[in-house]
Structure formats: structure tokens, C-alpha cells
Amino acid sequence: MADEETVLSDIPNVSVIVADDPEKLELDEAGYFIIAPDTERMLILAKHYSYDKELLRIIEGPDARSIYHIIVKYEWVSTLNHAAYLGQELARAEIAMITGFGYVQG
């Protein structure tokens, strides 16, 4: 539970907050992304859609960092939860692309 705090005996005056799983998905009014590694070209694609299912743009880059940098730079996400989720998914897609493992967005 995120509200529970404990103090570590070897680190005085520092609280440890136990993280929990979020209960509800928070949708980002800026839209959503479909992430796909393109192993032939060794690129990651991030397709940005509105909630009306209109394709707004496709961002492509060689790694997760280059893509999330552009997404944040142009403010194509409006919540921290969405930005964190995208970073996680882009990293997973990059690992899948490099290793040749399959990738399914989670």
C-alpha cells in the first residue's frame, strides 16, 4: 500500500513508501500510442492516435530514448502515468528488436 511508510533503521529520517499496483487506468486526453519494433529497418515505431481512432503521427527512431524525447519535447503526452508507461513500452520494444524476441504491447 502506497500510504504505508516505514523507516529503515540503517537510514535515519528517510521514509520508505511501499508501492502498490494502480487500481484504475488513467486515459491521457492527448491520445494513445501503438508501439511496434521494425526489425528489418532496426527502428521502433510509435503511432500516435486520437481517441477517435485518427492516426495523428508516426514517430520512428533507433531506440526508446530518441522516441520518448520527441514525444515529451512536443508534449504529445499530458500525464506522467502515460509518459512512464510509454518509456516502459518503448524500452521493451527496443530490447525485443535487438534480441529478436517477439514484442506485444502490454
Report pLDDT digits (tens) over 31-54: 999 999 999 999 999 999 999 999
Per-residue confidence (pLDDT) for residue 19, from 0 to 100: 85
Residue 92 inside a domain? The answer is yes
Nearest of 77, 79, 86 to residue 105 by alpha carbon: 86
Residue 43 inside a domain? The answer is yes
Q: Tell me the longest C-alpha to C-alpha distance in the chain.
A: 53
Phi, psi of 55 (to 5 degrees): -70, 120
Tell me, yes or no, if the pTM score tops 0.75: yes
Per-residue confidence (pLDDT) for residue 42, from 0 to 100: 96
Show the low-confidence residues of the chain (pLDDT under 50): 1-3
Per-residue confidence (pLDDT) for residue 14, from 0 to 100: 78
**Alpha carbons 78 and 82: distance in angstroms, whole number:** 7
**Can you give the residue range of the structural domain that contains 80?**
24-99
Q: How many domains does the chain have?
A: 1
Residue 14 inside a domain? The answer is no
Residue 49 inside a domain? The answer is yes
Residue 19 inside a domain? The answer is no
